[in-house]
Structures are given as structure tokens and as C-alpha cells.
Amino acid sequence: MKQLVIDFQKCDAGRNCNHECEMECAIKVFKVDDPAQAALQIKAYEDGGGKAVLCDQCGDCVVVCPSEALKRNKLGVVMIDKQLCVGCYMCIGFCEKDAFMRNPDWIVPHKCTSCGVCVKVCPHGALSIQDVPEPAVRII
Amino acid sequence: MSQLVFDPSKVMDIDYTKRTEYLGQLEALRAGMRTLKEVPFQPSLPDKGYTNRTLYVNVGSLEVTEKPVTQQMKDVFIGGRGFGLYHLWNAVKPTTRWNDPENEIVISPGPVAGMTQYAGTGKSLVVSLSPQTDIPIDSNVGGFYGPLLKFSGFDALELQGKADKDVILFVDGVKGIIRIEEVEGGPEDSHVLAELLTHMYAENEKDLPNVSVVSSGAAAAHSLIGMLNFSFYDRRRKCVRFKQAGRGGIGTVFRDKRIRALVVRGPKVAGDLNHPVDPETIANTGIKYHKEIRENDGGQCMMRRNGTAHIVEIMDAYDLLPVHNFQYGSHPDVHKIDSAYWQQRCTQATVDGCWYGCSMACAKGADGLVLKTGPYRGDMVTVDGPEYENAAGLGSNCGVFDPDYLLELNFYCDTYGICTITWGTLTAFVMECYQRGILNKERTGGLEMTWGNAEADLEMMHQMARGEGFGMIAGMGVKKMKEYFIKQGWGDPQLINDIGMENKGLEYSQYMSKESLAQQGGYALTNKGPQHDEAWLIFMDMVNKQIPTFEDKAEALYYFPLFRTWFGLNGFCKLPWNDVVPADNAQQPEAHKVPEHVQNYVDLFSATTGVKIDKEELIIQSAKVYNFQRVFNIRMGKGLREHDAAPYRSLGPVTKEEYESRAERYDQQIIKEMGLDPAGKSTEEKMALHRQWRTDRFSKLMDSVYARRGWTSNGVPTLARLKELGLDAFPEVVDVVKQHLS
């Protein structure tokens, strides 16, 4: 399956860039001029490190979705069908990585779909889309 | 006892998509149907949780009308059970009985129902005059019917009258059609009927989840213990499943009205159909709760794995599990039906909420059950979990510890349309009568009703469904069986009355209350009869030990019936309130109330309706409806102190075997509680001391609870209490009370 991967050997958690990845995602994918709405969020730690909040396509949300709005596509990426979503937000509550997000103006939640628009704009070349094995379905 | 750990490798490998299909009967059913009346209506979505109109249907005269929801209805009755009681009061007279045409079945989901962001928000409340108690019964049921009815345009449905032939009421909330159809032939049992009707009324496969069916079954018409199944379409299993409005015989009223089924087709569900005033608060509260389930459920109740059956072994360990008609509180074979077994037997890799967004997901399903008896012998079916009540009632209380038979009993109760709790308690009573010679093979028509004889238990149920034999006597329920056995001269009347576990005509649900004074009151001092949903205090009393003093228990019997009533006014399920708790709950003041969750409910109500309340106002909202229901009972000839009396089996040991099985405990109570010396006394003498002490204590509890509730010592709400609650605005209510104040 396709998975967005961040290399913190290269990413400096936004200390020397303008979070181009977040801005590109917000504008290109979600059509909003607000990086806080992006499907990946880069956070800097005070001790110098950092972390990224993003979806690794683990599929836990697919298991808990009551309306079958979440399914893997042929690339293994978990996609949300807006027509089937009932806005229950169990996907948000059950995501251990806090990667499912919600814009107060939209009923349907959103997350990273490994589309790769962020990869192209990262000035450090820290982001990549990688092909990794699909994890086994978990009982949640 | 240690915390159970879930082991996914032990879950049985059963294909949950496979079962016997009945769709081959669809065309035959359709051929037997004809339209009696069709009325157009304007579908509408709720505003702040209310559609502001209700639907009235008389299945006898075929009258179909809409009624406005008044501001007074919202202010005093809120919705759900409140609306049901309000409509029922207006529909009946003091002389009305369950099978009079003017009796109604009212279904109302409540203003919060249909919310998708919080667990347990899809409930319908069903109210009717009960065939078992002759007073209003209310039942809180999941499934999709209530929310889809509201999203079609109605806050409640009133069903009145009686049809000559079976009818189906169809509400199409997409096209705006209300249709009454006559049906000849075709199936009656729910698992077949609801499957056919769901497919008949859905426009296509994608539409299947937007259809819900209310139905009963063959046994409801031949008994007083009929139940209603509310369906929901299980997308992953691709089958119709049910939740039950079980208690009090509403299914019997339904079939007496010759209603075969109610069908609603609603719009596609989305997250904002209630049009709440503050969706942001609802979203944040819901997400917070989902996270709490994710983090805490596995280490607390494991509701997502076991459903409510998680407490089987806890009840057994604390000597609270009903065994052999509530004689004993534990049994060595309980491990065969405890949650360690059910979490292996129930399908786990699926979604089991009975409404969208229920992260607690306790509606577990056992798939691949091949039936051994009855008209569906050989069929493969999917059955409910079972819930705790069914494991205890159909299982330990009757000495049935074979899980497949337990599931089969559960299945047939559901599809025949009878209450599992009632069936468990009445069968346990029959079995004890058999044990004690009150019944024998001749009197049961050949049924050997020995403890654990599941085949005889099932045959008694099949007889009832066929309308024959001893099954018809059993189907009258414990109260009428007691009267019948005594009339026949079949046993000592006091023994029969002591061991027949009913109050107000309703059978006890499945908790052994002998050592829990709080639960004794929680059962007997109820409005509708001994159902734990009003005051499930046994856990906080006996396991968590959060209400140790007499005063604590009396206060709990004021607060919790009101707090729990509130769920039914709004369309909430009670389980998400305390079947998971925040990690720091034990450190909070009044931890037994789960204060953070109470605040969640306050926030969800205010955010939906725009009516700002706090936790005190929440209780006042309930108190209005609770006291109205008490007065309703009095109006119907019950609701007084004498009707709150408890059978002695619920208070203490009735028989010598019971006493001697726990002699050390009972002897110690004689020393510590009564200040007497048991040495040298016979068991009979010690039992007499206990009876005196226990009945006195229960009577004192009644005094304290009545006073705290603002009632007279006869259990009548005072005029001052009515005024305080604003119920003096209803002259009929005041008149009823005045007749009983002297």
C-alpha cells in the first residue's frame, strides 16, 4: 500500500522552512488557505526534534466505521466516501495517531490519502510515498 | 477475580455473512397485500431536534392525522417516554384496559435521538397500557425506526384502534407517503418478516439501511408477554438485525390491534439531520467519548467484545447471579456461559452498534447457529449476543448452561416476539414449581420442567407460539400463573406468592437482590415494575460499594430513577453513561454518578435543543415526567404503597435450602444486625427472624424514599410536589391526586 513517510533526518520540524507541505496540502487538496486544515501536521519539540501527525493507512478506521464509508482503494490507501459518511467521528476518536481531522465547517472528516502533493514541495526532500505491506486487519 | 484479557486468536472462525435466506417468500407476501389507504404528507427534517409534529394513525378507522407539538409538551414532557405518556394519558380512561381499542402504542425517539456523534443516541421509547400490569409500560429500544421516523418528519407515532385483518403501516419519509396495507398470509415471525419487508420497501440495495421494521411474532398473540423487534440493517453481515422493546407485553397489544408490522423508509442519514444549535459542542463531546472508549473499554467492561454479558462472572463472584429462580447467587457451571466464552463465540471483527456512532457497540451477534428445534429447525441464523439479561435469565436462572441452547432460546424469544427477561423469570418460576411438586408432568401436559431442561423449555415456548398446551398458561406470566396455581389448589399459596418473582404484574429482571437493599427498592419502588433500567443500583451497592449507608441507598432511590428517566425522554441509551468511565472517575466527587458523563449529557441536550440546562435542571426535567407517570398509575388503579410490595424471594431466603446454603452469612446477620444469638435456634426460627428484619427494613426504606420523592407514606405525590414541578397546570392530574390525599 502507498504510505506517506517523513524522514526526520532531513525534516527539521519546520524550523527552517515555511511548512510548505502543510500549505500545499491545505490549498491543493482541501481548497482552504489555512495550513491548520492540512492532512499532515509537523510539530516541533522544544528539545530540537519533531513529529508529524499523518495517516499511515493502518486501516483501524475502516474497522470501526459503521457506514462502510471508509475503504481501501486499489493502492491500499484508505479513502472516505462522502456519500456514505454519517459524520459520527468514530474514525477520529479511534485513530491512535490522531491523523483523522475535522474542519468545523464540514461534516465529513478528512485525512491524508497519500496523494503526494506535499512530497513535491518539501524543500528538504524529507517526504516520500513508499510502498509498504498492508497490515493485518485488527479487532478494534 | 482477575480482569479478563481478550485473545483474538480464540475467537471462533464463523463466516458471519452466511445464514438461511427467506427472500424466496417475498412475492407470495406481496401477493397477499392490498392498499387500504394512502395519504400524502410533507417530509421534513427536525429543527433543534424536533420536527414539531406527531403522527396519529387509527388502524381500525384508518384515520391518519398530524398533530402539532406544543411548547408545553416540550417544556414538561421533553420527548420520548414523556411524549408517549402524554399521548397515552389523553387517549385512555381510568377504565381502559390493554385490549380496548382506545389503548395506544406510542413510539417516540426524543429530541437528541438520531445524533450520530455520541454513543447510544438512536433510541425509541415505546409506551402503552400493559397487558401484564394494567398501567403504562415504557420500553427503551435501539434499532433505526425512531430516528428514521423523526428524519421523515414526526416526533412521535400514536397507534390506536383495532384492525379486522392484519395491517402494515408504511411511512415513506422520502416520497412523503403514509400507507396502510392489509396483509393476508405470509410470515409473522420477525426474522423472516422483517427481512422480507426491508427488501420490499427499500428502493435498491443501497437503500436497505434506510429502512426499519417494527414487528412481533407468533407467540405475542397467544400470550401477555409479547415484545416488539425494532430492526436495523447490518451492512457487513448483510442481514436484518433487531433490538427489542421487551418488557410488559407491548407486542401483545400490537398483535391485538392486528398490526403485523410498521415500516419506515427514511432519508439517507447524515451527521446534521437534527439541525442542532451547536454542532461544534456535539462533535467535540462525541470525539472525546469515542477516545475514552478506545482507551478504557479494554481495561474496564470490554463492552465492544462482550456486550453486557461481561458481568455474568462478576455477578456470580459476588453471589448476585440469579440461579434456579433467584434461590442462589452463583453456580459452578457459570464458566460455560461467562464472557470468556461469549467473546469467543460472538463475531468480533465487525461493527455492532444499533445506531450510527455508537462506539460502545454492545449489540454483539453470534453467527452460524443451526437451530435444533421448532419450525426453523435446520436453519442457520444470526442471534443477539446474548446480553447479560439473557445469559442470566434464559441461562443460570433456569439452570441452562449449554450455550447453544441458550442462543436458541434467545433466537426463538426474539423471532416469536416475546420478552427474554420475562421468559427467563417465568420459566424459572415454572421450574421451581416443578421442583417443589406444585407442578408435575401431568399438570404441564407432559413437559418435564426440570432445572436445565432446555428442550422442555423450548417446547413450552413452541407450544405458546402455536397457541396450545401448557405454553399458553406460561404465557400468562408469573402473576396470573400464581393465581391460577393457587386456584387449582396446587400448592401452598404463601410459598407460591413468595417465589413468584413479579411486582405490579411484571416479572423481575435478572439480579439477585436479597443482599442489596438498594436493589430491592430499585425493583419494587418503580413506576412500571421490576425492570433494572429505572434503578440499576446493585453494582454500585454490592460490587463498588459506593452507597454503604441506609441514607445513601434511600438517596440513590431518589436520584437514579430520575437521572435514568432522562435518557428515555431524549432517546439516549443508558449503557454509555457508566459502562465505561473516565480514567480519573474514582477520584471525582460522587464518582457513582460519573460526573463527567453527566456533564456530557447536559452539553448534548443544550447543544441540540438550544435550551440551556445544568445537572440540577436535568433532574427536574425527569421529575416532571416521573411524577406524572406515578399519578398515571394511580389513575389506572395502581401506584400506591400496596402495589410497591415485593415478593419475599427478592428480600430474603424463602426456603430452608436457601437459608442453609448461606447459613454463615445469615447467622452473622442475626448477630450483627439484629443483636441476637442464633445458637440453638432451628433454621425455621432463624428464617422467621430474617423475614421480620428484612420486611421491616424494606418498609422503612419505602418510608424514606417516598418522603424524599415528595410523596405521602401511601406513595402519592403531594400537591406541593406537583406544584413545585408545574404539574398543577394539568387539572386532571391534580384531581387524581386529590382523591388519594386525606
ipTM given for this complex: 0.97
Residues B207, B282, single domain; the answer is no
Q: Which of A107, A87, A94, A68 is nearest to B357 (CA)?
A: A87
Please spell the DSSP secondary structure of B286-350, one letter per residue: HHHHHHHHHHHGGGTT-HHHHGGGGGHHHHHHTT-S-BTTTTBS--TTGGGGSHHHHHHHS--SS
Residues B640, B716 contacting (CB under 8 angstroms): yes
Residues B308, B171, single domain; the answer is no
Rounded distance, CA B130 to CA B113, Å?
25
Residues A55, A24 contacting (CB under 8 angstroms): no
Residues B398, B500, single domain; the answer is yes
Interface subset of B 302-321, CB within 8 angstroms of A:
304
Rounded distance, CA B83 to CA B106, Å?
8
Q: Which of A67, A94, A96 sits opposite B356 (nearest CB)?
A: A67
* Residue A56 maps to a domain: yes
Q: Do A66 and B353 touch (CB under 8 A)?
A: yes
Rounded distance, CA B279 to CA A94, Å?
20
* Residue B272 maps to a domain: no
Mean pLDDT computed over every residue of chain A: 95
Please spell the DSSP secondary structure of B537-548, one letter per residue: -HIIIIIS----
> Number of C-alpha atoms within 13 angstroms, CB side, residue B489?
0
Percentage of the residues of chain B whose pLDDT score is greater than 70:
99
For Cα atoms B79, B181, B24, give the angle at the middle one, nearest 5 degrees: 110
Residue B326's pLDDT is 98
Residues of B with Cβ-Cβ distance to A68 under 8 angstroms: 235-236
Residue B137, phi then psi, degrees to nearest 5: -115, 145
Please spell the DSSP secondary structure of B680-725, one letter per residue: T--HHHHHHHHHHHHHHHHHHHHHHHHHHHTB-TTSPBPHHHHHHT
> Distance (Å) from the C-alpha of residue A101 to the closest C-alpha of chain B?
11
Residues B157, B193, single domain; the answer is yes
Q: Which of B6, B269, B294 sits opposite A93 (nearest CB)?
A: B294
Rounded distance, CA A109 to CA A44, Å?
25
Residues B639, B715 contacting (CB under 8 angstroms): yes
Cβ contacts of residue B446 below 8 Å, gap of 6+? none
Residues of A with Cβ-Cβ distance to B279 under 8 angstroms: 104
Strands B105-108 and B239-245: unpaired
Residues B223, B307, single domain; the answer is no
Residues A62, A1 contacting (CB under 8 angstroms): no
> Distance (Å) from the C-alpha of residue B195 to the closest C-alpha of chain A?
19
Q: Do A107 and B359 touch (CB under 8 A)?
A: no
Residues of A with Cβ-Cβ distance to B268 under 8 angstroms: 83
> Which residues pair with residue B56 across a beta bridge?
B65, B158
User: Per-residue pLDDT tens for A9-56?
Assistant: 999 888 889 999 999 999 999 999 999 999 999 999 988 888 999 999
Q: Which of B553, B554, B550, B605 is nearest to B707 (CA)?
A: B554
Residues of A with Cβ-Cβ distance to B117 under 8 angstroms: 87-89
Percentage of the residues of chain B whose pLDDT score is greater than 90:
98
User: The domain that contains A50 carries what CATH number?
Assistant: 3.30.70.20
Q: What b-and-e string marks burial along A45-81, b requiring 16 or more CB atoms within 10 Å of the CB?
A: eeeeebebbbbbbbbbbbbbbbbebbeeeeebbbbbe
Q: Which of A21, A1, A43, A15 is nearest to A120 (CA)?
A: A21
* Residue B525 maps to a domain: no
Q: Which of B11, B117, B294 sits opposite A89 (nearest CB)?
A: B117
Whether the CB of B8 is below 8 Å from some CB of chain A: the reply is yes
Confidence of residue B340 (pLDDT cuts 50, 70, 90): very high
- Nearest 10 degrees: Cα torsion B300, B303, B305, B309: 100
Cβ contacts of residue A83 below 8 Å, gap of 6+? A69, B268
Residue A30's pLDDT is 94
Residue B1's pLDDT is 57
Q: Which of A60, A61, A86 to mutate to test the interface with B (most CBs of B within 10 A)?
A: A86
Interface subset of B 203-232, CB within 8 angstroms of A:
209
Residues B286, B422, single domain; the answer is yes
Residues of A with Cβ-Cβ distance to B353 under 8 angstroms: 66
> Distance (Å) from the C-alpha of residue B269 to the closest C-alpha of chain A?
6
Which residue type occupies B487? K
Q: Do B290 and A63 touch (CB under 8 A)?
A: no
Residue B508's pLDDT is 98
User: Per-residue pLDDT tens for B510-563?
Assistant: 999 999 999 999 999 999 999 999 999 999 999 999 999 999 999 999 999 999
For Cα atoms B464, B470, B473, give the angle at the middle one, nearest 5 degrees: 80
Q: Which of A60, A88, A107, A137 to mutate to test the interface with B (most CBs of B within 10 A)?
A: A88
Rounded distance, CA B632 to CA B670, Å?
41
Helix axes B403-416, B454-466, angle to 10 degrees: 10
Q: Which of A68, A90, A108 sits opposite B290 (nearest CB)?
A: A90
Residues B325, B248, single domain; the answer is no
Inter-chain CB pairs, A–B, below 8 Å: 80
Interface subset of B 10-49, CB within 8 angstroms of A:
11
Q: What b-and-e string marks burial along B511-536, b requiring 16 or more CB atoms within 10 Å of the CB?
A: bbbbbbbbbbbbbbbbbbbbbbbbbb
* Residue B55 maps to a domain: yes
Which of residues B265, B294, B316 is at a domain's end? B265
- Count up the domains in chain A and report the number: 1
Q: Which of B118, B232, B269 to mutate to test the interface with A (most CBs of A within 10 A)?
A: B269
Q: Do B349 and A137 touch (CB under 8 A)?
A: yes
Residue B44's pLDDT is 98
* Residue B321 maps to a domain: yes
Q: Do B11 and A139 touch (CB under 8 A)?
A: yes
**Residue owning grid cell 440453638:** B680
* Residue B25 maps to a domain: no
Residue B179, phi then psi, degrees to nearest 5: -130, 135
Q: Which of B81, B97, B108, B87 is nearest to B135 (CA)?
A: B97
Q: Which of A67, A15, A69, A66 is nearest to A42 (CA)?
A: A15
User: The domain that contains B124 carries what CATH number?
Assistant: 3.60.9.10
Q: For B356, which residue in chain A has the nearest alpha carbon?
A: A66
The radius of gyration of chain A from alpha carbons, rounded to an integer in Å, stands at: 15
* Residue A6 maps to a domain: yes
Residue B20's pLDDT is 98
Q: Do B271 and A65 touch (CB under 8 A)?
A: no
Report CA torsion sign: B196, B201, B204, B206.
negative
The mean pLDDT value for B646-654 works out to: 98
Residue B349's pLDDT is 85
Residues B284, B328, single domain; the answer is yes
> Distance (Å) from the C-alpha of residue B148 to the closest C-alpha of chain A?
13
Residues B566, B667, single domain; the answer is yes
Rounded distance, CA B373 to CA B409, Å?
10
Rounded distance, CA B558 to CA B166, Å?
43
Residues A69, B116 contacting (CB under 8 angstroms): no
Residues of B with Cβ-Cβ distance to A90 under 8 angstroms: 290, 357, 359
Cell numbers found for residue B432: 421451581
Rounded distance, CA B339 to CA B385, Å?
10
Residues B250, B311, single domain; the answer is no
Rounded distance, CA B526 to CA B482, Å?
21
Residue B2's pLDDT is 58
Residues B305, B157, single domain; the answer is no
Whether the CB of B270 is below 8 Å from some CB of chain A: the reply is yes
Q: Which of A58, A81, A82, A89 to mutate to test the interface with B (most CBs of B within 10 A)?
A: A89
Q: For A87, which residue in chain B has the nearest alpha carbon?
A: B271
Residues of A with Cβ-Cβ distance to B287 under 8 angstroms: 89, 92-93, 102
Residues of B with Cβ-Cβ distance to A86 under 8 angstroms: 116, 269-271, 356-357
User: The domain that contains B699 carries what CATH number?
Assistant: 1.10.599.10
Interface subset of B 110-169, CB within 8 angstroms of A:
116-117
Rounded distance, CA B554 to CA B704, Å?
6
Residue A49's pLDDT is 84
Residue B3's pLDDT is 67
Rounded distance, CA B482 to CA B181, Å?
40
The mean pLDDT value for B76-98 works out to: 98
Which of residues B199, B232, B265 is at a domain's end? B265
Residues B283, B258, single domain; the answer is no
Mean pLDDT computed over every residue of chain B: 97
- Count up the domains in chain B and report the number: 3
Interface subset of A 49-108, CB within 8 angstroms of B:
63-68, 83, 85-90, 92-94, 96, 102, 104, 107-108
Q: Do B235 and A90 touch (CB under 8 A)?
A: no
**Residue B742, pLDDT above cutoff 80:** no
Rounded distance, CA B34 to CA B168, Å?
10
**Residue B231, pLDDT above cutoff 70:** yes
Residue B122's pLDDT is 97
Q: Do B356 and A86 touch (CB under 8 A)?
A: yes
Residue B529's pLDDT is 97
Confidence of residue B130 (pLDDT cuts 50, 70, 90): very high
Residues B384, B242 contacting (CB under 8 angstroms): yes
Cell numbers found for residue B56: 396519529
Q: Do A93 and B290 touch (CB under 8 A)?
A: yes
Cell numbers found for residue B431: 421450574
Q: For A61, which residue in chain B has the nearest alpha carbon?
A: B351
* Residue B534 maps to a domain: no
For Cα atoms B127, B141, B644, give the angle at the middle one, nearest 5 degrees: 55
Rounded distance, CA B706 to CA B701, Å?
8
> Distance (Å) from the C-alpha of residue B143 to the closest C-alpha of chain A?
13
Q: Do B293 and A85 touch (CB under 8 A)?
A: no
Whether the CB of B576 is below 8 Å from some CB of chain A: the reply is no
Q: Do B357 and A66 touch (CB under 8 A)?
A: yes
User: Per-residue pLDDT tens for B55-65?
Assistant: 999 999 999 99
Q: What b-and-e string marks burial along B693-716, b requiring 16 or more CB atoms within 10 Å of the CB?
A: bbeebbeebbebbbeebbbbeebb
Q: Which of B7, B9, B285, B290 to mutate to test the interface with A (most CBs of A within 10 A)?
A: B290
Whether the CB of B357 is below 8 Å from some CB of chain A: the reply is yes
Domain residue limits at A31 = 2-131
Q: What b-and-e string marks burial along B293-331, b requiring 16 or more CB atoms within 10 Å of the CB?
A: bbbebbebbbbbbbbbbbbbbbbbebbbbbbbbbbbbbb
Strands A78-80 and A70-72: antiparallel
Domain residue limits at B365 = 8-15+278-507
* Residue B697 maps to a domain: yes
Residues of A with Cβ-Cβ distance to B208 under 8 angstroms: none
* Residue B50 maps to a domain: yes
3-state secondary structure B363-419: CCEEEEEECCCCCCCCCEEEEECCCHHHHHHHHHHHCCCCHHHHHHHHHHHHHHCEC
Q: CA B291 → CA A41, B294, B298, B364, distances in Å?
A: 20, 5, 12, 20
Report CA torsion sign: B113, B114, B115, B119.
positive
Which of residues B215, B233, B265 is at a domain's end? B265
For B1-5, B37-41, B234-238, which range has the lowest pLDDT when averaged over its residues?
B1-5
**Residue B385, pLDDT above cutoff 90:** no
Residues of B with Cβ-Cβ distance to A105 under 8 angstroms: none
